[in-house]
Amino acid sequence: MLGHNIIVIGASAGGVEATTQLVRSLPGDIPAAIFVVIHIAPHSKSLLPQIFQRRGSLPATHPEDGEKIELGRVYVAPPDFHLLIKTGYINLVHGPKENRHRPAVDPLFRSAAQAYSNRVIAVILSGSLDDGTAGLLAVKKQGGIAIVQDPEEALYDGMPRSAIENVAVDYVLPIAEISKKLVDLAYQPVPTENNPVDPQLEMETEIAELEKEAVESHDRPGKESPYSCPECGGVLWELNNGNFLRFRCRTGHAFSPDSLFAGQSEALEQALWVALRALKEQSALSQKLADRSKAQNRSIAANRFTKKVKEVEARAEVIRRVLVQNQSQALNSEINDQNDDLENDLID
């Protein structure tokens, strides 16, 4: 019987260091194919394959769409593409963002679960928020194995803790122990019978692939919610995987709770900037009309427009203070966050 020969790894902030450590510690003869998704900026140049190969035993690449899967190789999601697994080959798609990212972890995990069922091992490493939790649930439902980095070791514990809180995780281990466990499981035989594919899992994988029938279908899993999609403004449907609540819109954008909250916060900030711009334009117009009225000796109109300037500026000041407070919080978060491109440059 075949072993657990499909290993999928997901990470975000702090994930380059963790994934590099893990991949480099795997032997070159491991009888498994390894697939990696790390959140990276869509227009950045990814050096992840070169980083993984440096002092490592496994060849690593950004795969081509349709490339055949081979054991003993590491396949890294390229920027701005979801990395999906089909039976025997790789599918790269520019599908809807999930959890505000492309590539995202959940589509990789779901596609692996659909294609390879109980032969899949899914690994969650360091990262913020909760991408990967829904995909890990899908892997477990199809009979696969869930491994999570010990949150106490992770640079960012959001993704590991979300996974542990919402999934019946098989192993919670430090990086050094995860590599040993992966090797053991790769040689551990599994039954050849696959679990029946969940129709919702199949539909969500097709949506990620932008399959015409799935995108145009009026049937959506879950129930309609009162919330709108931060990406496109469409209605979100609520999905429940056990006790884990998720959301997906008609065009396919998907969110877990923390990611939706982050998206809403970003949309709110954009709305505040638009409001501030509109108020400043209104203030400038009112001042122009006040000056024009004074020049024409129209004192009543001049006073009215001058009063309008003060009212509008007072409203603008309220919004400015809110934005300053948000910027201060964002700056503190950015200082603590690890930029993936910077990590690429700094890691040996």
List of E strands, 16-105: 33-38, 60-61, 74-76, 82-86, 89-93
Distance CA 85, CA 83 (A): 7
Among this protein's residues, is 228 annotated catalytic? Answer: no
Name the active-site residue from 4, 39, 82, 253: 39
Name the active-site residue from 130, 131, 157, 340: 131
Among this protein's residues, is 12 annotated catalytic? Answer: yes
CA 21 to chain centre: 21
- Three-state SS letters, 245-295: EEEEECCCCEECHHHHHHHHHHHHHHHHHHHHHHHHHHHHHHHHHHHHHHH
Name the token pair of 76.
């890294």
Length of the chain: 348
Name the token pair of 199.
């129709």
Among this protein's residues, is 340 annotated catalytic? Answer: no
Name the active-site residue from 12, 46, 117, 256: 12
Distance CA 61, CA 196 (A): 32
137 neighbors 242 (Cβ within 8 angstroms):
yes
Instruction: Please identify every residue annotated as catalytic.
Output: 12, 39, 131
